[in-house]
Structure 1
Amino acid sequence: MLRWAPYPFVRITLSFVAGIVLYFLWGRELGHGLWLLAFFFASFLAVAILSIRYKNTFASDVAGILGLLTFMALGFATTHQRTELNQPRHIAHLQSSPSHYKGMVQDYVLQKPGYQSTVLQVQQVKVDGVWHQATGKVQLSVPHDSDRAYELSYGDVLLVRGAPQPVAAALNPNQFNYKAFLANKNIHHRHYLQPLQYQKISSKPSNLVLYYSIQLRRRLDEMLRERVGEKREYAIASALILGVKDELDNSIRQAYADTGTMHVLAVSGLHVGLIYTVLMLVLARFSATARQRWLGAILVLAVLWLYAFITGLSPSVLRAVLMFSLVTVGLGLQRRTVVYNTIAFAALVLLYSNPYNLFEVGFQLSFLAVLGIVYLQPQLYNLLEVDNWLLDKVWAYFTVALAAQLATFPLGLLYFHQFPIYFWLANIIVVPAATFVLWSGVAALAFSWVPFLSELLFKAHFWLIWGMNEFNLWLQRWPQSILTGIDISVWQTWLLYLLMLSVILFLALKRLRYLSIAVGIAALLSVQEIREVVQQRQQRQLVVYSVRGSTGIGLVQGQQAMLVADSVLQQNPQNYTFNVQPHLWQLGVEQPQLVNLHNSSVAPTVLLPDSNQLLVWQGQRWLILSKPPKMQPKVGFAVDYLLLRQNVRLKPEQLQQYTFNKLILDGSNSPWHRQRLRQQLDTLGVSYFDVAESGAFVVEL
């Protein structure tokens, strides 16, 4: 039987999480929730006093339940308070667009090709010539065209001309929802600036600790750039040690993702755990007395928080440092701490500071991975007894990788739609290699002032990274190294976790009821999958995707598809991966047939004498105009849709020659051309659809 008594913080944290979820479900109806918090807290105090006075067991149970409901209400109220949109002065509530606004750079500055990105905390806005106090965050993109490494720094106060724009929603079906991603960071506006559109007027960092941390990380990053040399190896060194991933090459990033070792490049709990493990091994023999234990604990805490400082105090590192700090203090006190309480308390502190952490992918994956390692790894490790020391270490690393992968498996499918087959082999090699890379890099930076030793350490650091990179690239080329195109819903993700929990409970408690639940969940998942496959085999869709600067038309029949695209889209795989691929995976299409729009021998298009195309498919007729038409349509000639692309110029009288149901503007048209054309179409009363503004145009057949 499960016993909850030893896990008070687990109960409290789960109640707090329930309050956060409740806010996102019914927050608007229930308001700020302070009345709910006051009611449950007063009820808890009253019942607790009665239970103590009369020593009534039932009253004690009720007091416990009311206490948990109080934490649930606290989670609800905290989320309301931390939601910046609820502030009356938020820029989203402005009645008129501001002509200027002031704010402070509140985040790291990220390097992008040709520009840099950061977050500005708005302080004032100028509306109708008058300055007003305001709040809100704006994601800024500033051009990077100077010799300076960084155009902006944390704490810079900027005067910006113009008005920020609300973040656009995803324009294609099943596309990554960048708007929701930024909303979880309380960012609801973006602004792409020109070189003379902003001016730095002062520098007033609100957090000096974070300011100096970021400055130190920049200096260390520059040292790695100079001393490591090769761009590929430098990018890995900077990502693995400092968490700076700006220079990572797409091919090497993909190799780590395909082998299931991407977590090595994201400074997180793994890196803190590697540092903590080595420190505990070194200090293990110096724990005989209380004085030695406390000196060791202070040293461990100092090293952990120093590492957090040099990595810019990133949230992922702070999560792990907080967790290991609690464990270290517990060891110093010689308390038999329950690790689940430690994990839960760390989660509670982080969620109280920012409830939106709950919806961060990194937060979810890191805590699930830790829970998997804590509970599953010992169970898996005890399945096999290995006498050989080296093989025993290999088996231990394998079980750690397997436990973490099992715990994060459903979420990995939900967010990344792929599963690396050889993750177990990759982690056995890469995680130990990353340990040496991390420590050699830290040592090289620490002794950079020592001439001969620093050269030796940087060379060792470089070759360790080179070997780790080559191993991942080699493993990536193995046959069937990764399963892609996996698409599951949030509901199916929950079912997978319930299935895993039922199996774990059955194995731990030996109760048949849990096996029955597991079989029932597996049956439900199977029925859902069969139903989905049947629906996919009957589907027929014609889709005009919203792809900036490109044309992409999807012709879906069953679980097969053809993507008719121009050369711009064909030459930009990232554009396809981000905008088109998620929708095709949702439809059960693993890999479409990619054909050129102008290749009439493969595509279902007919090339007209004036170089335009007529697309005929599944009874649909689409006239695609890329150039001004030079042919007079025959009397009675009608098409279902007229698609305009590449800024084709049409006179109003030319449009009136065609008979069609709707006019489509695709993403290859420039913004200025679409705006002018929309005005003309509104004047003529022509029905149109602009995919760059309204999203992909989907026709169900």
Structure 2
Amino acid sequence: MLQWAPYPFIRITLSLIAGILLYFILGKDFRYSTEVFAILLLTYIAVAFYARKARKIPVTNAAGLLGLLCFLSMGYVATQWHAAPNNSKHLLHLPESPAYYTGVVEDYIIQKPGYQNTVLQVQQVQVNGQWQQAEGEVQISVPHDSDKAYELSYGDVMLVRGAPQRVEAPANPNQFDYRQFLANKGIYYRHYLQPLQFRRIATAPPNPLLAASIRLRRNIDKLLRERVGKGQEYAISSALILGVKDELDNAIRNAYASTGTMHVLAVSGLHVGLIYLVLLWLLGLFPPVRRQRVLQAVLVLAFLWTYAFLTGLSPSVLRAVVMFSMVAVAAAIQRQTNIYNTIAVAATVLLLWNPYNLKEVGFQLSFLAVLGIVYLQPRLYKLLEINNWLLDKVWVYFTVSVAAQLATLPLGLFYFHQFPVYFWFANLVVVPLATAVLYTGLAAIVFSWVPGLGWLLFSLHAGLIWCMNGFNLWVQRLPYALLNGFDISQLQTWLLYGFFFFLILFLALRKLRYFALATAVVAVLSGQAMWETLQQKEQALLTLYNLRGVTGLALVQGQQATVLADSVLQQDESNYTYNVQPHLWQLGVLQPEFAALAAEPAGRATYAYSVLPDSNSLLVWRGQRLLLLSHPPALQSKAPLPVDYLLLRQNVRLRPQDLQSYAAGKIILDASSSPWYRRRLHQQLDTLGLAYYDVADSGAFVVKLR
């Protein structure tokens, strides 16, 4: 039987999480959460007071249950208070779009090619010529074409002309939902600014401590750029030490992701834990008397929070620092702590501070990885007894890596759709190298002013990064290094964790019923997989995707597909990976065939595609006729040409009356045409009374066929 007594904070945290999830399910439908919380709290106080006097188990149990219900209600109320739509002053509730607005830069400045991103906390808006107070966050992008390192700084007060736009929904099926990602951070608007559209009018940092931290991080980043260089060594150094990933290119990101070592570039629990272990080793050399323990705790806290300050007080570092700070304090007062309670306390503090942390991928992965390491690693380690010191250390690293990977496996499949096969091997090498990179980097920063020593440390630091990069690139090229194409639902993710949970209970408690439950979960997952495969075998879809500046469509039949697109799409891997690939994976298509729109199909194609004499083209597939016009039509017919779909692309020049030459079931405009062209065509089509569908405005055009 499970004993909950040693884990009081786990019950509290689970109740708080249940309340947060309840709000996500009910939303604004329930308006009396504060009153319910007050009633539960008063009832709990009364019952708890009575339980202390009565000393009866049923009354004590009732008080405990009421206490958990209070935390459940607290989670609901805290989430309701943090939800931006519940704020009457929020931009969401403005009756009209503002002509101007002011706000203060309240986030880091992220470098992108040609522009910079940050978040503006709105303070005032001008509506109908009147200024009024308003609240809300807007993600702004400003052009970066000057010699300055940063166009904006934290605390800059900006005057912006124009109205921010609501973040758009995903433009293609199963595409990453960036709108929801920003909404979890309380951001519902974006604004792409032109050079003369904004002006800095003041400087007023909302948090002076964070402003000082960001300035320090910028100075250290500048030092790394000067002493390490401007190549990938600098990019990795800045990412690993400071968490600044602006200079990482896609090739090196893919290498670390493919080997399962991307976590070393995310400044988080690993880095804080490495610093904590070194501090414990150094301070452990002193005698463990009470005064010494207190001094040790003070020094540990000072070093940990200094490192958090150095990294810009990023949320991922703060999570880890809060957790290790609690461990350090408990050790100082010789309080026997349970690591699970410590993890639960840290999670409770962070969720009360911002309940939407629960939706953050980093929050989920970091806590699950820690739980996996804490619980699974000791049990995996005991499976082998190794007497050799070096092999024992290798075995420790191996079990830590496997434990963390197992704990985060379902989430990794759900969010990233891939599994790095050689993660166990890569982490054996990369984690020790990353440890050395972190230590040498911090030492190089501290002693950068010392002639000779600073140069030596920076050279060693850069050399270690070069080795780490080379190793990852080599592992990435190994056969079957990365398995991708996994597409699982939220329900399947929960079922996978349910399987792991019941299996762990069976191994820990030796109760056959838990093994039966784990088997039942596997049966459900297998049934879902078979049903999904049967459905995919019978599917047939024609999909025209929303791809800026490009035409791309997929012909899906069963679990096979052909992607017809401009050659530009095949050259732009990120465009295909972000916009098209997730949908094909969802349909069970792992390796589609590619064909260029400018050429007729070769070999045994499942479709008919002809390039017409006027350079336009006609696609016929499963009885559907799609005419693609990218050039002025030059062919004339006595009667209107019957086609199911007429696609106008690449700003095709035509007269409105030309469209009457076709008996088209629907006219389609795609994102290969410019916005001004599509707006003009909207007016012309509306005037002619012709039905049309604009992919750039309404998202991908999907036709399901029998």
TM-score, structure 1 length as denominator? 0.99
2:702 equivalent in structure 1: 698
541-550 or 291-300, larger mean C-alpha shift: 291-300
Q: Structure 1 residue 619 and structure 2 residue 592: aligned?
A: no
SS at match of 1:337: coil
1:43 equivalent in structure 2: 43
1:680 equivalent in structure 2: 684
Distance 1:155 1:346 in 2: 29
Distance 1:497 1:511 in 2: 19
Deviation at residue 568 of structure 1 after TM alignment: 2.1
Deviation at residue 619 of structure 1 after TM alignment: 1.0
Deviation at residue 230 of structure 1 after TM alignment: 4.3
Structure 1 counterpart of 2:537, one-letter code: R
Q: How does 1:72-91 map to 2 (within 5 A)?
A: 72-91=72-91
Distance 2:57 2:649 in 1: 75
Structure 2 counterpart of 1:97, one-letter code: S
1:484 equivalent in structure 2: 484
The alignment of Structure 1 onto Structure 2 pairs a total of residues equal to 701
Q: Deviations over 1:195-236 (max 9, x none)?
A: 010000000001111000000000000110010014110000
Q: How does 1:462-473 map to 2 (within 5 A)?
A: 462-473=462-473
Q: Structure 1 residue 451 and structure 2 residue 455: aligned?
A: no
1:630 equivalent in structure 2: 634
Deviation at residue 32 of structure 1 after TM alignment: 5.6
Structure 2 counterpart of 1:358, one-letter code: L
1:196 equivalent in structure 2: 196
1:9/1:344 contact within 8 Å kept: yes
Structure 2 counterpart of 1:389, one-letter code: W
1:100/1:160 contact within 8 Å kept: yes
Q: Structure 1 residue 19 and structure 2 residue 23: aligned?
A: no
Distance 1:44 1:581 in 2: 53
SS at match of 1:479: coil
Distance 2:191 2:460 in 1: 43
2:641/2:661 contact within 8 Å kept: no
1:120 equivalent in structure 2: 120
2:547/2:579 contact within 8 Å kept: yes
1:666 equivalent in structure 2: 670
Deviation at residue 85 of structure 1 after TM alignment: 2.0
Q: Structure 1 residue 644 and structure 2 residue 648: aligned?
A: yes
Distance 2:471 2:409 in 1: 23
600-609 or 358-367, larger mean C-alpha shift: 600-609
Structure 1 counterpart of 2:35, one-letter code: W
1:5 equivalent in structure 2: 5
Q: Structure 1 residue 327 and structure 2 residue 327: aligned?
A: yes
Distance 2:287 2:38 in 1: 47
Q: How does 1:421-432 map to 2 (within 5 A)?
A: 421-432=421-432
Distance 1:392 1:102 in 2: 59
- Please report the RMSD computed on the Cα atoms of aligned residues, expressed in angstroms: 0.9
Q: How does 1:495-506 map to 2 (within 5 A)?
A: 495-506=495-506
Q: Structure 1 residue 512 and structure 2 residue 509: aligned?
A: no
Distance 1:321 1:595 in 2: 52
Identity of aligned residues (%): 63
1:138/1:190 contact within 8 Å kept: yes
Structure 1 counterpart of 2:660, one-letter code: Q
Structure 2 counterpart of 1:149, one-letter code: A
Distance 2:40 2:220 in 1: 50
Change (3 A) 1:636 1:229: closer
2:398 equivalent in structure 1: 398
Q: Deviations over 1:324-375 (max 9, x none)?
A: 0000111111111011110000000000110000000000000000000000
Deviation at residue 469 of structure 1 after TM alignment: 0.3
Flag structure 2 segments of 5+ consecutive residues without an equivalent.
none
Distance 2:30 2:339 in 1: 35
SS at match of 2:555: strand
1:260 equivalent in structure 2: 260
Flag structure 1 segments of 5+ consecutive residues without an equivalent.
none
1:309 equivalent in structure 2: 309
1:284 equivalent in structure 2: 284
1:37/1:70 contact within 8 Å kept: yes
Change (3 A) 1:578 1:287: farther
SS at match of 1:206: coil
2:52 equivalent in structure 1: 52
Distance 2:507 2:539 in 1: 42
SS at match of 2:563: strand
Deviation at residue 634 of structure 1 after TM alignment: 4.6
Q: Deviations over 1:17-49 (max 9, x none)?
A: 111111111121112610110121122122222
Distance 2:569 2:126 in 1: 41
1:32/1:81 contact within 8 Å kept: no
SS at match of 2:121: strand
42-51 or 651-660, larger mean C-alpha shift: 42-51
TM-score, structure 2 length as denominator? 0.98
2:595/2:601 contact within 8 Å kept: no
Deviation at residue 657 of structure 1 after TM alignment: 1.3
Structure 2 counterpart of 1:15, one-letter code: S
SS at match of 1:639: strand
2:163 equivalent in structure 1: 163
1:655 equivalent in structure 2: 659
Distance 1:636 1:180 in 2: 45
308-317 or 563-572, larger mean C-alpha shift: 563-572
2:475 equivalent in structure 1: 475
Runs of 4+ in 1 over 4 A off after TM superposition: none
Distance 1:284 1:392 in 2: 23
Structure 2 counterpart of 1:695, one-letter code: G
